[in-house]
Amino acid sequence: MINEMPTLKEKLQGRAPKIAIILGSSLGSFADAVKDPLRISYGDLAGFPIPKISGHAGELVVGKVGGKEIAVLAGRAHAYESGNPAVMRPVIEALKAAGIEILILTNAAGSLTPKMRPGSIMMLTDHINQAGMNPLIGSHGDENFVPMTNAYDLQLQKALKTAAKKEKLKLHQGVYVWYSGPSFETPAEIKMFRLLGGTAVGMSTVPETILARRFGLRVAALSVITNLAAGIEGASPSHEETKREGAKAAERMKTLLTRFFKDLK
């Protein structure tokens, strides 16, 4: 008989976090803030995809942040790596089965407005699925008709704003546009996204939000602004810039999230 790989709940060794966070590009250093860490490689977890993009470690770290037990996922797989928008579904399902109730998503994004400069942090209030993909396509059952009116939990948004105020951090708010990638957007596409009401653009997060809402998790999301989008003030984004600017903003993100977790009821 072939031994099945242990589930995430089994690998947690009795720990019971209710909150999980998925770290975006170059935010992996947040995992270093975890106290009394239990480290689990994605390769040791059934169904967890191994990220193939630099800046995504592919490791789950469970421990205390701000006094709360948190499951920190250092890295994600993106839809553009395989063409599968549901690539993170096994992860979201495993988190739900392990008792996670709240999912915090983070990402690196390009700003669609000159007023929001690289290094800024933006809280997502809504999103636009410009990629044209959906991680629930092919699933059956009425539970897949997921309402997305309040995809980003209003109470969690309020708590993030309060945490930012306490730490004297400027927290922008706006609409995130999901672009499939991996190529960056053209200046013409950026003009269109701005006309549609977008505030920032990136290549992740939206499919995870849809999946999380499908499985009943409360969601909040934050973007680290790593660049001005293509054509704005002559900008021409690169992955190197994304990693460099994301790393610079990581400390502010760590301060914000630590306060948020500490105060969260």
**Ordered DSSP codes for 17-32:** -SEEEEE-TT-GGGGG
pLDDT in tens, 205-239: 999 999 999 999 999 999 999 999 888 877 676 66
CB atoms within 10 A of CB 123: 20
Identify the active-site residue in 26, 59, 80, 229. 80
Indicate if 56 belongs to the active site. yes
% pLDDT > 70, the chain: 92
Domains of the chain and any CATH numbers:
16-263 (3.40.50.1580)
Identify the active-site residue in 131, 180, 189, 239. 239
Identify the active-site residue in 116, 203, 247, 250. 203
pLDDT in tens, 61-85: 999 999 999 999 998 899 998 999 9
Whole-angstrom CA distances from 227 to 31, 117, 177 are 23, 7, 15
Identify the active-site residue in 227, 230, 235, 249. 227
Per-residue confidence band for 90, with pLDDT thresholds at 50, 70 and 90? very high
Per-residue confidence band for 242, with pLDDT thresholds at 50, 70 and 90? low
CA triple 134-135-136, angle to 5 deg:
90
Helix (H, G, I), strand (E, B) or coil at 118: coil
Phi, psi of 55 (to 5 degrees): 95, 0
Identify the active-site residue in 26, 107, 111, 204. 204
Indicate if 150 belongs to the active site. no
Q: 168 Cβ partners below 8 Å, 6+ apart?
A: none
Write the Ramachandran bin of 149: left for phi over 0, alpha for psi from -120 to 50, otherwise beta. alpha
Helices (H), the chain: 8-11, 79-82, 89-97, 154-166, 187-196, 206-214, 239-263
Percentages of the chain per state (helix, strand, coil), in multiples of 5: 35, 25, 40
| Residue 214 one-letter amino acid | R
User: Model's pTM, two decimal places?
Assistant: 0.92
Task: Please say if the pLDDT value at position 161 is more than 70.
Answer: yes
Indicate if 140 belongs to the active site. no
Identify the active-site residue in 20, 77, 78, 179. 78
pLDDT in tens, 126-135: 999 999 999 9
Identify the active-site residue in 20, 31, 42, 56. 56
Indicate if 172 belongs to the active site. no
Identify the active-site residue in 29, 57, 69, 81. 81
Indicate if 81 belongs to the active site. yes
Per-residue confidence band for 56, with pLDDT thresholds at 50, 70 and 90? low
Cα-Cα-Cα-Cα dihedral of 239, 240, 246, 249, to 10°? -150
Whole-angstrom CA distances from 10 to 3, 22, 131, 257 are 14, 20, 35, 27
